[in-house]
Amino acid sequence: MPVTITLTAAPPTIPANGSHTTITATITDYYGVSVGAGTQVTWKTNLGTLSAPTSETDENGVALVSLQSVPVIGDATVTATSSDGGAAAILIPFTDNWVAIASLFTAWVNSGSPYNCSAWSPDPSTVSAGVAFTQSATCNQAQLAYRQDREQSTTTGAIRNVGNPVPLSQTINVTIQQTAIGTMQPPKPTNPWSQCRYSETYNGSEGGSGFYMWSIAANGKTGSITWNTFMITTLFEPGDITQYTFEGVTYYRGPLRGSTSGSPNYEVCR
């Protein structure tokens, strides 16, 4: 009477990368009773490598063999033939095996305009009026990029995308620039004096020499500071001085107001 061979594989499919599966042959007689130990099973496959060409059943009528896949995507057909005349076949797919590899990233690109900017520097009031210069400011800038996850076949080397591109975001500091025009006016000269005098009278006479005087005594003389080149020469030496200190008071030559006998006349300040 013929015997029955029942084949199972664990796992039922394996990656085509040298992985293993164990094939079990369970042999029973016509009545479904185990044939017991000692029945030889001959194994064959059209794809992959078997651990042995033959194996024997144990006391439970079970014989085992291991199948190792090769890097070919396809179906391995494994047959088992017993010495008692029974035969069976099982299909074991060799599947592609994909492993994660480095993701691809796009370059960061600006998203929108800079924001949250600092004040422009330097301030135009610190640069001479009319002078063009470059101002700078520090801002926040939102940026956007994408990550594409990928995987690669260990069998063929093919690469494929996994899912859709994943958006990424970041915020960086950027410096922006612009051209501005300075507004700072030149400093006004500070007068070294606090009071200036000038008069068209001299010694109380109208139509006098055109000086305003403070009466002082200098070098043994009694006279007036009248900032006229000629008269200052007669009163003080040298005649082209622009300031003179007498009795703790400093006198300055002020703005030009006219001329007498060819000598320029100035205000007198102190």
pLDDT per residue, tens digit, the chain (270 aa), is 789 999 999 999 999 989 999 999 999 998 999 999 999 999 999 999 999 999 999 999 999 999 999 999 999 999 999 988 899 999 999 999 899 999 999 999 999 999 999 999 999 999 999 999 999 999 999 999 999 999 999 888 999 999 999 999 999 999 999 999 999 987 665 555 556 665 544 444 434 443 434 333 334 333 444 444 334 434 444 445 667 676 666 767 777 766 666 556 666 676
87 forms bridges with which residues in the sheet? 81
Q: Which amino acid is at 13?
A: T
Q: How far is CA 118 from CA 111, 175, 201, 244, in A?
A: 19, 10, 63, 53
- List where CATH 2.60.40.10 sits in the chain: 4-95
pTM: 0.53
CATH superfamily of 4-95: Immunoglobulins (2.60.40.10)
Token couple for 58: 């144990």
